Amino acid sequence: MADPVVLLERPAEGVALIRINRPEARNALNLEVRKLLAGHLAELGEDTVTRAIVLTGSEKAFAAGADIKEMAEAGTIEMLRRGVHKLWRAIAGCPKPVIAAVSGYALGGGCELAMTCDIIVAGESASFGQPEVRIGIIPGGGGTQRLARAVGKYKAMKYILTGELISAKEAFEMGLVSEVVPDPEVEGRAIDLARQIAVLPPLAVQLAKEAVLAGMDAPLTSALALEAKSLQILFSSQDQKEGMRAFIEKRKPKFSGR
């Protein structure tokens, strides 16, 4: 039997790691991979043990984009029937922090997948890009929007209109990745960040993620109101009391997730 194209691992307490496993196809995102990713993220988003998620690929590719062979001959109705946009929504809708650990290529849908994550750790030789224009299409998983929001119109336009690849160093300098680390350290560093998040009070983590993401789509006054309400809500949590009392009593907090 063939290896599963997406693997689920538990590298540390509270941390789940999802690994795209089609190295022979540079982790191209076929429908099977997309459905498994959406399914895992939906389940991990709901379970009571997972506090942070690492999403990674293989050494040569995080993901080289949508599976070109699977869509090359498809027509409009077939593309509509596949409903890939719904799977993208499920992936982006995970309420828990998702950290992309990017080695090798993150192109097209692979770059878009990384951009749905909350933190991106990239290896020194990783490369990003939206090369869709070179094969007669445009980004379809949020690339035209998320790249422009992440790096600004003029840099995004340059890469989307030329399909030119972006080195990890350039990506870091323009704000597309959170950290660049030596190649062998990518996964370890992402797990380390996830482990740090996993011991924090989960309600505060969840509302912080929600406020940043919802706020980015809203006018500043609405976003600030959302932030204020989210902060106020946390004052009903046991973890807020525990965190502040522990600080005052000079001891380590014990968070319960309530």
CB atoms < 10 A from the CB of 27, how many?
A: 29
Using CB under 6 A as the binding rule, whether residue 68 contacts ligand CAA is answered as: yes
Contacting range for ligand CAA; rule: CB under 6 A; set: 21-29, 92-100, 153-161, 247-255? 21-29
For residue 32, give the nearest of 47, 24, 42, 21 by alpha carbon: 21
Helix (H) or strand (E) holding 181: strand 179-181
* Cβ at position 184, least distance to ligand CAA in Å: 19
Q: Which of 28, 119, 121, 186 binds ligand CAA (CB under 6 A)?
A: 28
Q: Which of 97, 109, 123, 142 binds ligand CAA (CB under 6 A)?
A: 109
Contact 243, 253 (CB under 8 A): yes
Contact string (CB under 6 A) for ligand CAA, positions 194-233, x = contact: ----------------------------------------
112 is known as an active-site residue: yes
Sign of torsion, CA 192 174 227 99? negative
Quick one: 99 or 106, whose CB is closer to ligand CAA? 106
Using CB under 6 A as the binding rule, whether residue 34 contacts ligand CAA is answered as: no
Using CB under 6 A as the binding rule, whether residue 66 contacts ligand CAA is answered as: yes
Using CB under 6 A as the binding rule, whether residue 67 contacts ligand CAA is answered as: yes
Order of all β-strands in the sheet with 61-63? 61-63, 105-107, 127-129, 166-167
Contact string (CB under 6 A) for ligand CAA, positions 135-154, x = contact: x-x-xxx-------------
Task: Number of residues interacting with ligand CAA: please give it, by CB under 6 A.
Answer: 21
Contacting range for ligand CAA; rule: CB under 6 A; set: 57-65, 95-103, 212-220, 242-250? 57-65
Integer Cα distance of 118 and 96 in angstroms: 9
66 is known as an active-site residue: yes
Pairing state between β 52-56 and 61-63: unpaired
Give the distance from CA 189 to its chain's centroid. Answer: 15
Q: Which residues pair with 56 in a beta bridge?
A: 19, 101
- Encoded tokens for 231: 């902060």
164 is known as an active-site residue: no
Integer Cα distance of 42 and 33 in angstroms: 14
Which are the catalytic amino acids?
66, 109, 112, 132
Binding site for ligand CAA (CB under 6 A): 25-26, 28, 60, 64-69, 105, 107-109, 131-132, 135, 137, 139-141
